[in-house]
Amino acid sequence: MTLTLILFYAFIAVVSVQIIYYLSFLFSFGIKHAETRIKKHIPISIIICAKNEAENLKKNIPLILNQNYSNFEIVLVNDSSSDDSLEIMEEFASNYNSIKLVNVKVSEAFWGNKKYALTLGIKASKHEFLVFTDADCKPNSNEWLAHLSSHFSNEKSIVLGYGAYAKKKFSLLNKLIRFETVMTALQYFSYANMKSPYMGVGRNMAYKKDLFFNNCGFSSHMSIKSGDDDLFINEVSNPSNTAICFTKESFTISEPKTSFKAWVLQKRRHISTAKHYKSKHKILLGLFYMTQLLFWILGIVLCFIGFSWLWVTILIILRFIIQWFCFGFSAQKLKESDLIFWMPILEILLVTSQLSIFIINLISKPKHWK
């Protein structure tokens, strides 16, 4: 058997895995309808941990205070900020009885560890149901809290939401950041929908306080700088306790990074936690990424050498049609339809970026969360 034939058979296997993955895992979310079921307002504690976020706090706390919700508090956690964040928080706390302030001072043992600051915020909260977002996030509507909290029930103690990034015109980096965000959401929503939840994003998620303390909080991964969201959810979620919420009213919107270097630094922290996931999730996510990478490598090589170009072209088109179908439905649900046309370019940029970040992380570990 010639090397070229081996490459062709490998390409068939790669395309088959990609198609199976899209039609089994990702299609399940693509066809799911967003549920709107506003219930009686249960008491909620919103936890916001901030480090050097003075301007974002000024802009976004009023939007959270303006939520159309009858029973909630905001716990503002100042994580040893060096700017005016503490002063801004103190001003809000003095003007609103519903705001509680937790000031985390520099600690040698926990310096730069967001999990320590979050733990103090959770301990200070007075309600059983906790909602998490970041200081640089704004709710997409004044019904954000109502939509997210409505998915709690006797069975559901975790709610996963969507944390979008603001759109910027004429920016390829912005499209890449939003594409990566949609692909990540597409996967964690799909896995949760298929009773195998594995992560959430701290920009927009919720869980019950007793779930946190029954798990001893972040203790099993406190030494890892990131992972307060995905590692915790990977540890405590199960097939029956996790709900997903993706109505447009429930989104949060964050300002994206404006330089490629800053985005890479952010992704280095995020990617570094994946190796600590449960084995089944590492295998499934790793297989998806490897077949994505090999699809482009093998496809380009086979097209370049002109081997069986008709069948190679058919396989490439078939895979793209199924991918567009699944991604298109999901992008529309998440109000990111403008990315559909750019998908092939964005995918190859994302795959190569992720490979580069993985290699960089092998050489040196990412540092503190900010």
Rounded mean pLDDT, 169-181: 96
pLDDT confidence of residue 26: 82
pLDDT confidence of residue 270: 73
Residue 171 corresponds to which tokens in the numbers above?
A: 């920016």
pLDDT confidence of residue 32: 85
pLDDT confidence of residue 192: 95
109 has a pLDDT exceeding 90: no
Minimum mean pLDDT among 123-127, 217-221, 287-291: which range? 217-221
Please say whether the dihedral angle defined by the alpha carbons of residues 76, 78, 83 and 84, taken in this order, is positive or negative: positive
Cα separation, 290 vs 268, whole angstroms: 18
Sheet of 137-139, strands arranged across: 137-139, 252-254, 163-165
Cα separation, 82 vs 80, whole angstroms: 7
Global confidence as pTM: 0.92
Helix spans in the chain (H): 3-21, 27-30, 54-65, 85-95, 114-124, 144-149, 172-193, 209-214, 230-236, 260-271, 279-305, 309-333, 343-363
Rounded mean pLDDT, 99-105: 93
Minimum mean pLDDT among 3-7, 87-91, 95-99, 239-243: which range? 3-7
327 has a pLDDT exceeding 60: yes
Rama region for 162: left / alpha / beta (φ>0; ψ in -120 to 50; rest): beta
> What is the chain's mean pLDDT, rounded?
91
Percent of the chain with pLDDT over 70: 96
pLDDT confidence of residue 108: 43
Alpha-carbon distances, residue 276 vs 159, 224, 301 (angstroms): 21, 10, 34
113 has a pLDDT exceeding 80: no
CA 261 to chain centre: 20
Which range has highest mean pLDDT (217-221, 292-296, 323-327)?
Answer: 292-296
For residues 106 and 312, the model is more confident at 312
For tokens 């975790």, the residue is 158
Rounded mean pLDDT, 255-260: 91
pLDDT confidence of residue 49: 96
Rounded mean pLDDT, 339-347: 95
Q: What is the largest CA-CA distance in the chain?
A: 77
Quick: pLDDT tens for 53-64: 999 999 999 999
Minimum mean pLDDT among 9-13, 73-77, 256-260: which range? 256-260
Cα separation, 103 vs 323, whole angstroms: 47
Rounded mean pLDDT, 276-282: 92
Which range has highest mean pLDDT (202-206, 275-279, 355-359)?
Answer: 202-206
- 309: helix, coil or strand? helix
Minimum mean pLDDT among 75-89, 254-268, 308-322: which range? 254-268
Taking alpha carbons only, the member of 190, 92, 79 closest to residue 134 is: 79
pLDDT confidence of residue 335: 94
User: What is the 3-state composition of the chain as percent helix, strand, coil, each rounded to the nearest 5?
Assistant: 55, 10, 35
pLDDT confidence of residue 272: 75
365 has a pLDDT exceeding 80: no
pLDDT confidence of residue 267: 84
Q: Are 250 and 147 in contact (CB under 8 A)?
A: yes
Running DSSP on this structure, what letter comes out for residue 276?
Answer: G
